[in-house]
Chains A and B, each alone.
Chain A
Amino acid sequence: NAGVTQTPKFQVLKTGQSMTLQCAQDMNHEYMSWYRQDPGMGLRLIHYSVGAGITDQGEVPNGYNVSRSTTEDFPLRLLSAAPSQTSVYFCASSYVTGGNTEAFFGQGTRLTVV
């Protein structure tokens, strides 16, 4: 089972460059989300989606765009990279059953913006 697949695993960008972090899940989960993880700050929600065609902003959405054209894919776009976006990014998909939410995470993308 592939679960949640994120690519790339590592990336270095120059300030002002744009790029797309890919995320795909094969569990038919409706809910997908993107987080960034910074030391001492835990996970902060960037954007999330509750189904194909539906996206919404999380806690720290500025500088990022998302789209959800299919249930499986949820790419995260950095429009014009800034050093403040240096972080580890995690994609997650989750399902809710009986009120219980279980999240499945990708392996993460370590992004450095110079």
Chain B
Amino acid sequence: GEDVEQSLFLSVREGDSSVINCTYTDSSSTYLYWYKQEPGAGLQLLTYIFSNMDMKQDQRLTVLLNKKDKHLSLRIADTQTGDSAIYFCALDSNYQLIWGAGTKLIIKP
């Protein structure tokens, strides 16, 4: 079945850019998603990209998709303490979402 992999942790300094990476095995997904989970809360959709795009920018967020390498990334510019959360990559497959394990973003002052 589909496999979605992410690193478990990423540590960055406040003000730097954060790049969270995700690799996957099944290339048939139409949409690829990034969800954010703040401490003690459920997940919320952060952004998504359509599979025929290679980049999407939304304010401080940039999503890059490399379909050849099956690699999705989320770049957060000027990382702030409020960005501290777990970020999940997800792909759609037959109306279900297949999830990565989540990357915990740790912000150092």
User: Which residues of A are interface residues toward B (Cβ below 8 A)?
Assistant: 4, 31, 33, 35, 40-43, 45, 48, 50, 90, 92, 94, 96, 99-103, 105-108
Q: Which of B29-46 contact A (CB under 8 A)?
A: 30-31, 33, 35, 40-45
Chain B interface residue count, Cβ-Cβ cutoff 8 angstroms: 24
Is the pair A45, B44 in contact by a Cβ cutoff of 8 Å?
no
Say if the beta carbon of B97 comes within 8 Å of chain A: yes
The distance from the CB of A26 to the nearest CB of chain B, in whole angstroms, is 15
**Neighbour of B96 across the interface among A4, A48, A107, CB < 8 A:** A48
Q: A43-B102, A102-B48, A105-B44 are in contact. List 19 more A-B contacts (CB 8 A).
A: A35-B99, A42-B99, A42-B102, A43-B99, A90-B42, A94-B97, A99-B30, A99-B31, A100-B30, A100-B48, A101-B95, A102-B45, A103-B45, A105-B42, A106-B42, A107-B40, A107-B41, A108-B40, A108-B41
Interface residue SS majority, chain A: strand
Say if the beta carbon of B24 comes within 8 Å of chain A: no
Is the pair B101, A41 in contact by a Cβ cutoff of 8 Å?
yes
